[in-house]
């Protein structure tokens, strides 16, 4: 018995020692956590319960010169379904009614949705996609459907919102308006056009706010000294006029479709300021439709052909080595230099004609003789004229990807005996359509060459933050005497030259036709195609606008690929409509082009340049932040009282408003 008691005492002793050692270990650990590792664990706990959240800045809008909205940000909604959330009784009670209701917004059939919802329920899918890319109106409707109106916990509805960039005028001028986004494949920010070039003004600066976790998935703001309010982006006012843009776009589209051309571009520029009023760049897709994928007017540098002959005329007149009355023999329509032939498009040539008449008829032989005979011993003098017009360097536009010109210089390794004569009729040189337009615009602008401009100012409401004044590239491209003669010849091109098909007794135009062979030396005759162009200005006597049209690879089976036939009608249609159809309010019709499918916003507001015709939407029931975003995008100043959803609005739905009107929203 004594032995057993001793054995028990020994075991009790061991247990006591073990408990004592454990207690010491716990005390040591607690002391270590409190005093040694305390800062680490306190920081870790804080990170898990307190976190900084980004407050996104509102991105600025892009407006046209006449006040129309070109790009804006609106909320986009995605609705999903947590199929495990509703109780069985609740799900069975409402699933059929929900399915039938979804049909009214999403189409398909009630049986389809019921089958899918039951399948999601059976699979315990907690994130089943109902619909994405929903407008606010569609989101509100679906949120009010049976089952979903019970909320997230009882009805299983999951709502995710993101802000998306919309172009209210659809696909028109899409490439110029551009984009600024993160490439999902690389995570790198990419962009084009105005959105990218002016992103530092548009994007604003995000803020931050500290929030504390109070429940699963729920966070409440904590006010502290480190909170940073977001700074909203500025609005960018472009030079685009939606009325002229609409005309230019559809005129180009029609011609591209008629000639089954590969691609083309058109630019309309205000003569005095250089403001680009319209720019359209359309390329043909595999299905035969046309889309804005590349900014050809700015990026595509190519041999211009006969539109380059303006350089010849200005150079010889300015140097007084020839006059418009100087007579040249077209030599039967063919002249050879170093074994290579320069030919006129008119077989047999034009006989003996003056320099002016040779230009009007676009005679290659006449213009080449005028240049070669006078500059063959000093080609640098001729090339210096080209350089003085700025054609040897980029225009330095805001946009990335501007095409680089190529003007050969005497002494270059590629300079040869045929370089100078071929330059005279627009080959062995490369320029962009925008560069060509800038030169012709300088003639229209009394010799002053201005830089093409796409943005006029940066604004914060009605306050101008930055103004972009007209930038003069060359204050005097030639003398007044040369200018007067050049203008007369350009007007005669339309009156009695290669552009005579464009002549109208109702309004005057001046310009030059161009037809260039492309890829003539790289792929043989099979790879060669034509680029048809017309560039000029109107009215001829008091120019207000300059314009260039370039159409690449028209279908030659029609035997009409000349600039006057393919590009010229686009120029005329634009000039004619600007002067005959210009409305007082510039209200733009709903664009119905097959490539201009309209994007819906909240209630599919019409695109109008007169902001007074805008109508206030019914905001009642809309979340406050969504209502504010919508109203600010419409150009209104918003004051808010309360929190939550809109209960009342100071300007009632349906009333016309003007930009910078103040509307008060009462939230509850």
Residue 408 has pLDDT above 90, yes or no: yes
Residue 412 falls inside a structural domain: yes
> Measured in Å, how far apart are the chain's first and last C-alpha atoms?
83
211 and 333 belong to one structural domain: no
Q: Give the model confidence (pLDDT) of 222-247 as tens digits.
A: 766 678 888 999 999 999 999 999 99
249 and 207 belong to one structural domain: no
The three-state secondary structure class of 249 is helix
Of 209, 236, 263, at which residue does a domain stop? 236
CA dihedral angle for residue 434, residue 435, residue 439, residue 445, rounded to 10 degrees? 40
The Cα 346–Cα 575 span in angstroms is 28
Question: Residue 343 has what pLDDT?
Answer: 95
Residue 518 falls inside a structural domain: yes
Q: Give the model confidence (pLDDT) of 616-632 as tens digits.
A: 888 887 766 567 767 76
Q: Give the model confidence (pLDDT) of 294-332 as tens digits.
A: 999 999 999 999 999 999 999 999 999 999 999 999 999
Question: Residue 586 has what pLDDT?
Answer: 37
Question: Residue 109 has what pLDDT?
Answer: 94
Residue 585 falls inside a structural domain: no
Domain count for the chain: 4
Q: Give the model confidence (pLDDT) of 423-479 as tens digits.
A: 999 999 999 999 999 999 999 999 999 999 999 999 998 899 999 999 999 999 999
Question: Residue 393 has what pLDDT?
Answer: 96
Rounded to an integer, the average pLDDT of 602-629 is 56
Rounded to an integer, the average pLDDT of 359-375 is 98
275 and 180 belong to one structural domain: no
216 and 251 belong to one structural domain: no
Residue 36, both tokens: 């040694």
**Domain span at residue 17?**
2-36
> The domain that contains 649 carries what CATH number?
3.30.10.20
Distances (CA, A) of 234 to 33, 163, 440, 463: 51, 17, 34, 10
76 and 109 belong to one structural domain: yes
Of 184, 215, 236, at which residue does a domain stop? 236
100 and 220 belong to one structural domain: yes
Distances (CA, A) of 272 to 441, 505, 539: 8, 25, 13
* Lowest-confidence region among 52-61, 149-158, 262-271, 568-577: 52-61
Residue 281 falls inside a structural domain: yes
Residue 620 falls inside a structural domain: yes
* Lowest-confidence region among 190-199, 217-226, 336-345, 592-601: 592-601
Q: Quick check: 69 and 633 in contact, CB under 8 A?
A: yes
Q: Quick check: 145 and 110 in contact, CB under 8 A?
A: no
Residue 521 falls inside a structural domain: yes
Distances (CA, A) of 630 to 179, 276, 358, 605, 638: 20, 29, 59, 11, 10
The residues facing 341 across adjacent strands are 336
Residue 364 falls inside a structural domain: yes
26 and 61 belong to one structural domain: no
The Cα 333–Cα 344 span in angstroms is 5
100 and 24 belong to one structural domain: no
The Cα 299–Cα 399 span in angstroms is 9
573 and 663 belong to one structural domain: no
Residue 605 falls inside a structural domain: no
Question: Residue 647 has what pLDDT?
Answer: 84
The owner of tokens 């119905």 is 592
Higher per-residue pLDDT: 663 or 267: 267
Rounded to an integer, the average pLDDT of 330-359 is 95
Q: For residue 593, name the pLDDT band (cuts at 50, 70, 90).
A: very low
173 and 246 belong to one structural domain: no
Of 580, 601, 631, at which residue does a domain stop? 580
97 and 16 belong to one structural domain: no
Q: For residue 166, name the pLDDT band (cuts at 50, 70, 90).
A: confident
Q: Angle 480-496/433-444 helices, nearest 10 degrees?
A: 110
361 and 217 belong to one structural domain: no
Q: Quick check: 402 and 432 in contact, CB under 8 A?
A: yes
Residue 241, both tokens: 């006029």
């Amino acid at each position: 018995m004594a032995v057993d008691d001793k054995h028990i005492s020994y075991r009790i002793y061991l247990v006591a020692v073990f408990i004592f050692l454990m207690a010491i270990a716990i005390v040591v650990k607690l002391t270590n956590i409190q005093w040694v590792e305390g800062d680490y664990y306190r920081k870790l706990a804080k990170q898990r319960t307190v976190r900084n959240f980004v407050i996104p800045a509102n991105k600025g809008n892009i407006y046209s010169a006449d006040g129309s909205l070109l790009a804006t940000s609106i909320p986009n909604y995605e609705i999903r379904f947590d199929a495990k959330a509703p109780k069985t009784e609740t799900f069975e009670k409402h699933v059929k009614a929900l399915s039938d209701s979804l049909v009214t917004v999403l189409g398909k059939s009630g049986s389809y949705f019921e089958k899918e919802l039951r399948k999601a329920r059976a699979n315990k899918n907690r994130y089943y996609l109902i619909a994405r890319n929903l407008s606010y109106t569609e989101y509100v409707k679906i949120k009010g459907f049976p089952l979903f109106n019970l909320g997230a916990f009882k009805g299983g509805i999951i709502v995710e919102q993101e802000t998306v960039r919309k172009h209210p005028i659809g696909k028109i001028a899409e490439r110029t308006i551009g984009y600024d986004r993160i490439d999902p494949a690389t995570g790198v920010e990419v962009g084009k056009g105005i959105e990218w070039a002016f992103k530092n003004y548009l994007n604003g600066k995000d803020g931050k706010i500290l929030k504390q976790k109070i429940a699963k998935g729920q966070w409440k703001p904590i006010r502290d000294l480190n909170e940073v309010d977001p700074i909203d982006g500025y609005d960018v006012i472009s030079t685009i006029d939606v009325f002229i843009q609409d005309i230019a776009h559809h005129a180009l589209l029609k011609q591209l479709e008629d000639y089954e051309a590969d691609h083309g571009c058109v630019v309309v520029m205000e003569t005095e300021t250089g403001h680009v009023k319209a720019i359209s760049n359309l390329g043909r897709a595999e299905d035969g439709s046309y889309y804005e994928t590349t900014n050809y007017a700015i990026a595509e540098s190519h041999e211009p052909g006969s539109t380059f002959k303006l350089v010849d005329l200005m150079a010889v007149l300015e140097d007084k080595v020839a006059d418009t009355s100087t007579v040249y023999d077209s030599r039967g329509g063919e002249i050879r230099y170093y074994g290579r032939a320069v030919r006129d498009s008119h077989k047999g040539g034009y006989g003996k004609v003056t320099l002016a008449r040779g230009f009007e008829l676009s005679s290659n032989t006449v213009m080449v003789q005028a240049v070669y005979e006078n500059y063959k011993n000093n080609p640098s003098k001729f090339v210096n004229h080209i350089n003085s017009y700025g054609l040897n360097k980029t225009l330095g536009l805001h946009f990335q990807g501007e095409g680089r010109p190529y003007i050969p210089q005497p002494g270059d390794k590629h300079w040869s005996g045929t370089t100078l004569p071929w330059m005279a009729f627009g080959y062995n040189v490369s320029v962009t359509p925008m560069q060509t337009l800038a030169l012709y615009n300088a003639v229209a602008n009394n010799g002053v060459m201005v830089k093409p401009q796409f943005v006029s100012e940066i604004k914060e409401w009605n306050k101008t933050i930055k103004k972009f004044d007209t930038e003069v590239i060359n204050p005097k491209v030639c003398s007044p005497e040369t200018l007067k003669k050049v203008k007369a010849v350009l007007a005669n091109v339309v009156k009695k030259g290669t552009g005579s098909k464009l002549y109208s007794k109702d309004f005057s135009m001046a310009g030059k036709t161009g037809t260039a062979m492309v890829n003539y030396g790289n792929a043989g005759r099979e790879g060669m195609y034509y680029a048809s162009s017309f560039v000029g200005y109107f009215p001829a006597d008091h120019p207000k606008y300059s314009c260039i049209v370039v159409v690449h690879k028209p279908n030659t089976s029609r035997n009409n690929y000349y600039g006057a036939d393919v590009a010229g009608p686009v120029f005329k249609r634009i000039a004619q409509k600007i002067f005959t159809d210009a409305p007082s309010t510039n209200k733009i019709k709903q664009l119905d082009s097959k490539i201009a499918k309209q994007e819906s916003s909240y209630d599919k507001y019409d695109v109008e340049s007169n902001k007074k015709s805008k109508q206030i939407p019914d905001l009642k029931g809309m979340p406050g932040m969504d209502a504010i975003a919508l109203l600010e995008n419409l150009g209104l100043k918003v004051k808010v009282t309360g929190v939550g959803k809109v209960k009342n609005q100071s300007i009632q739905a349906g009333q016309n408003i003007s930009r910078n009107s103040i509307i008060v929203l009462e939230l509850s």
